[in-house]
Amino acid sequence: MRRAAHAILIVALTACSGARAASGDSAGAATSSAIRAARERFNAAIASRDTATIASLFLPTYHLISGRSAQSHGVAEEIAVWTSMFAPITRP
């Protein structure tokens, strides 16, 4: 469920960056570039299971509400979620 929420967050960031770039203003282009760079760092951190980098990309006031109303508040709580997702799957 939280994976879906994270995917939605990434899609929302993509939509925002595309809308700003389409506006043609230089501030929008700079914002779009910053968002793209952050997304690239975020994706690379996920691929390498690097929770320190993931944590560095969230503000201290980070709060996520998923489409199913699951909530995650703060960097520490969010990193606990990622750490759990990165844990090896144990089978009985």
The span from the CA of 19 to the CA of 29, in Å, is 10
Flag whether pLDDT at 80 surpasses 60. Answer: yes
Beta carbons within 10 angstroms of residue 89's beta carbon: 4
pLDDT of residue 21: 47
Query: Which tens digits make up the pLDDT trace of 51-70?
Result: 999 999 999 888 989 888 98
What is residue 63's DSSP assignment?
E
What is residue 87's DSSP assignment?
S
Q: Is the model's pTM score more than 0.75?
A: no
